[in-house]
Structure 1
Amino acid sequence: MADHGDHAAVRRSYDTVAGEYADRLHDELDAKPLDRALLACLVERTEPGTPVADLGCGPGHVASHLVGLGARAVGIDLSPGMVAEGRRRHPGVEFREGDLLSLPAEDGEFGSAAALYTIIHLAPEELLPAFVEAHRVLRPDGLLLVSFHIGTEVRHLDEWWGHDVDLDFRFLATDDVAALLEQAGFTVDMRMERAPGPDEAQTRRAYVLARRA
């Protein structure tokens, strides 16, 4: 698989922290009732029998939660280290290694997809191609749930939990993301913003639920 832009640095960084990331964040949804509610909505509105993709799945805890809700989940991540953690920890989930700009999936394979805090590592010019690619792998009327940090800044990490990394976290505007989703062929069904929880990074978060038109 060809590297896109700085995705090689993102891949190496997440490989480096994969085990610790999984140990620290395996139960993060326990403290995120809104996220759990939106994931439940996603599963309920997915065409029965069609798989749900977790795009940028990390070590697979969100995909595993989707399985617990009755979905057939497929986790896709850029990092082989994250995929390995996911396969070890969550045998009920299918995992694939792949890039948001060239997903390892057939046209119309998924009934719905979640991309939680995944697009924050894309360069601005990569957002539209990533949404076009998500549109490709979804069935007609399939849903895409996207979440991200709100703002205009770029936060760079050289160190994470004592590990050397090279990661940019790009904050985004809800209006911009919604407009790009519509440009990619989606209809925006819902958009929501919330304050951070006490144990989260202190950033405002946005959720956009879009339907493949």
Structure 2
Amino acid sequence: MAEHQNETRAAYDGVVELYASMFADGLETQPFARNMIATFAELVRGTGNTRTADVGCGPGHLTAMLHDLGLDAFGLDLSPAMVAHARRARPALRFEEARMEALPVEDHALGGVLAHYSMIHTPPAELPALLAEQARVLAPGGLLLVSFFATGGPEPVRFDHKVTPAYSWPVDRIADLLAAAGFSVTARLLHDPATERGFLDAHVLARRPG
């Protein structure tokens, strides 16, 4: 696991300013994702536990969005350069460097976890461990929103992402992995992409049973 994570960290460390500029408008041009995150935030508020981790937060644009939606949000990212940028850009919010398979969060502490295209670089064999870690940190009734590139085939597809290699996933496979990690899938949204990458964009909302 360490080798591909080191490669991913180095790749994102090298594109911080470009990556941050690409998302400077938040999700203004992505209405499906924006509304799915708003729904996620509403449901997390409904649990009474607004503490939420933006896992793979990058420059922190979605951490700020979650904060504006009434959540006690903080950002975690593998890339120290991304974390440094997020801290400079949004000094009122908390950002920490962290690996997704070892989150610096106590058991059953969170009302929500957002994983917005942050697991796409994880090799398929390692994804169950990440989902199990997210289940560990969520309180009973807590929500997880996973966004990713979707493929219509039966297996994950490795492709050349602009930053570092990534994977697209069949939505049913992600749902099965979430169920195996102890989640109950409550909603799926699949839509045409905003770019010409070719994959569909997918958002899966799941709850840790209470």
The two structures have a TM-score, normalised by structure 2, of 0.91
Q: Partners of 2:144 and 2:71 in 1: how far apart?
A: 15
Residue 16 (structure 2) pairs with residue 18 (structure 1): yes
Preserved contact between residue 142 and residue 211 of structure 1 (Cα < 8 Å): yes
Question: Residue in 2 aligned with 1:154?
Answer: 158
Whole-Å Cα distance in 1 between the matches of residues 182 and 146 of structure 2? 15
**Aligned partners of 1:70 and 1:192: how far apart in 2?**
23
Note the C-alpha offset of 1:49.
4.6
- Partner Cα separation in structure 1 for residue 207 and residue 149 of structure 2: 21
Q: Deviations over 1:153-187 (max 9, x none)?
A: 31225xx5xxxx6x111111101100000000101
AA partner of residue 11 (structure 1): R
For 2:14, the aligned partner's letter is T
SS of the aligned residue for 1:209 comes to strand
Shift of 1:116: 0.8
Q: Which amino acid aligns with 1:94?
A: R
Q: Is the 8 A contact 2:146 2:205 kept in 1?
A: yes
Aligned residue identity for 1:104: P
1:209 equivalent to 2:205? Answer yes
Q: Aligned runs of 1:97-136 on 2, under 5 Å?
A: 97-136=97-136
- List per-residue Cα deviations over 1:54-95 (Å, max 9, x = no partner): 111100001111111111111110000110111111123211
Contact 1:67 1:92 in 2 (8 A): no
Confirm or deny: 8 A CA contact 1:97 1:104 kept in the other structure: no
Q: How many residues align?
A: 203
Q: Distance in 2 between matches of 1:136 and 1:90?
A: 28
Q: Report percent identity of matched pairs.
A: 39
Identify the residue that residue 170 of structure 2 maps to in structure 1.
Answer: 173
Amino acid at match of 2:93: V
Closer/same/farther in 2, CA of residues 7 and 66 from structure 1, 3 Å limit: same
1:138 deviation in Å?
A: 0.6
Conservation of the 8 A alpha-carbon contact between 2:51 and 2:72: yes
Alignment of structure 1 residues 29-68 onto 2, 5 Å? 29-46=27-44, 47-68=47-68
What is residue 4 of structure 2 aligned with on the other side?
6
**After alignment, is 8-17 or 42-51 more displaced?**
42-51
Paired AA for residue 193 in structure 1: L
Residue range with higher mean Cα deviation, 110-119 or 37-46: 37-46
CA deviations over 1:23-47 (Å, ceiling 9, x no partner): 2222140111121211111111113
Superposed CA RMSD in Å reads 1.5
Q: For residues 18 and 166 of structure 2, what CA distance do their matches in structure 1 show?
A: 19
Instruction: Give the aligned residue type for 1:36.
Output: R
CA drift at 1:203: 2.3
What is the SS of the residue equivalent to 2:120? helix
